[in-house]
Structure 1
Amino acid sequence: MMPFIISFLSGFALSASLIVAIGAQNLFVLRQGLKNEYVGPIVLFCGFSDAILVIAGVSGMGALLVSLPHVAKGFTLAGAGFLFWYGIKALRQATLSESMTVTEGGPVSLSRALTSVAAFTWLNPHVYLDTMLLMGTASTAQPLHLRSFFAVGAASASFLWFGALGYGARFLQPMFATPKSWKILDLVIGCVMLFLATLLLRRAL
């Protein structure tokens, strides 16, 4: 097998293994996919964000993050605050007497949806650990002239995953045809968000 293909697949496999873990960003993309609301822009935003971070990591920017612990702590606290807010919001939505279905419920604006996914993406310190530090470190095992293929492979996994998550959610829509299903989803999302926020807060403090 050609060396550049091996580098591409190495980046793809490592990125895929990291990104499929359940997290705040994935849950938000899934929810937007179920609502069929701004799926394309959100998928592209997530994919390009990961691509930027992977490229930065392969370029050696991960070492800079390690040398600035106060910046990392600031991101962690901001991320914890946002996750707490969103978790409480989701739990409150789950307790309402009336909840949305796939075909109804209050839609949000594109700018608000992108602001939310930006916060889930860029205020999550784990994304820097996974993309800039881990991916950056792993890329050093590749010859210098093949590291760009490694980065492309990693970015491709992100685009493929978020596309599958966002657009594949429509196949789950029959399961969310009743308000009760959305209440359960909001309850799960709220609990996961608060759990992740607690972990971030403990790490920062």
Structure 2
Amino acid sequence: MLTPLLAGLGLGLSLIVAIGAQNLFVLRQGVRREHLLPVVAVCAISDAVLILLGVSGIGLVLQVVPWLIVVARWAGAAFLVGYGVLAARRAVRPSGETLRVGTATPARTDAGGTALRTRTTVTATVLTCLALTWLNPHVYLDTVFLLGSVASTHGEGRWAFAIGACIASLAWFSALGFGARYLGRWLDTPRAWRLLDAIIAVVMFAIALSLVLSH
């Protein structure tokens, strides 16, 4: 069972380690050190559910009703555009009600130049994370279809393959989120945060465009 487990681990990492809306969101929350545990848990659990659905053969159902992918594509594109607009607005006009990087203490804009960020509620953060995960049609194509198809080639070892892919997801999101705090020293100015938000906005718009143009 070790071979399919390692195969699932390798393929899972190769699919998930890429710049995307979900990874950027986890990275941003990690740098902010805000509601990070719920975010990592939502991403890892969501991936595990999708992987298990794919291995169980649910991907065949989506092949019968392909319009579900179309709905997810347009809903995901609309959400990414909205999220991109919010990131662009933060880049152009930072909020006044803010949170100091690396702490949980609200503060007003720091005249000394220390980076300050708006604090969001855990509910809003989790809902955003769920939307970025479940409204992304690529997650169904990669996780449900691709992983499910490859897992089926391992026969009785397909569940070991699924466990390996789940381990890859948990390890990646944990490393990305909890390791992002070490980037705080480079994001300790308002200008750096505005640049990060600008990059996030561009990536969100690009992904949304790719979803609309994909077939």
- Using structure 2 for the length normalisation, give the TM-score: 0.90
Match of 2:150 in 1: 138
Q: Is the 8 Å Cα contact of residues 29 and 42 (structure 1) preserved in structure 2? A: yes
Unaligned ranges ≥5, structure 2: 103-115
Q: Partners in 1 of 2:19 and 2:94 — Cα distance? A: 28
Q: Is the 8 Å Cα contact of residues 95 and 117 (structure 2) preserved in structure 1? A: no
Query: How far is 1:18 from its partner?
Result: 0.4
Match of 2:45 in 1: 48
Q: Partners in 1 of 2:205 and 2:39 — Cα distance? A: 23
Match of 1:102 in 2: 101
Task: Indicate the RMSD between aligned Cα atoms, in angstroms.
Answer: 1.3
Q: Partners in 2 of 1:25 and 1:80 — Cα distance? A: 13
Match of 1:203 in 2: 214
Query: How far is 1:203 from its partner?
Result: 2.3
Match of 1:117 in 2: 129
If each structure's helix is expressed as a fraction of its own residues, which one has the higher value? 1
Q: Does 1:36 align with 2:33?
A: yes
Q: Partners in 2 of 1:6 and 1:23 — Cα distance? A: 29
Q: Is the 8 Å Cα contact of residues 46 and 162 (structure 1) preserved in structure 2? A: yes
Query: How far is 1:70 from its partner?
Result: 1.4
Q: How does 1:160-171 map to 2 (within 5 A)?
A: 160-171=171-182
Q: Partners in 1 of 2:163 and 2:121 — Cα distance? A: 32
Match of 2:112 in 1: none
Q: Partners in 1 of 2:118 and 2:189 — Cα distance? A: 15
Q: Partners in 2 of 1:183 and 1:97 — Cα distance? A: 7
- Using structure 1 for the length normalisation, give the TM-score: 0.94
Q: Is the 8 Å Cα contact of residues 98 and 179 (structure 1) preserved in structure 2? A: no
Q: Does 1:7 align with 2:4?
A: yes
Aligned to 1:74, which of 71, 74, 80?
71
Aligned to 2:192, which of 173, 181, 187?
181
Kindly provide the amino acid, as one letter, of the partner of residue 203 in structure 2. V
Q: Is the 8 Å Cα contact of residues 12 and 154 (structure 1) preserved in structure 2? A: yes
Q: Deviations over 1:3-33 (max 9, x none)?
A: x111110000000000001000000000000
Unaligned ranges ≥5, structure 1: none
Q: Partners in 2 of 1:87 and 1:97 — Cα distance? A: 14
SS at match of 2:198: helix
Q: Is the 8 Å Cα contact of residues 95 and 118 (structure 2) preserved in structure 1? A: no
Match of 1:26 in 2: 23
Identity of aligned residues (%): 43
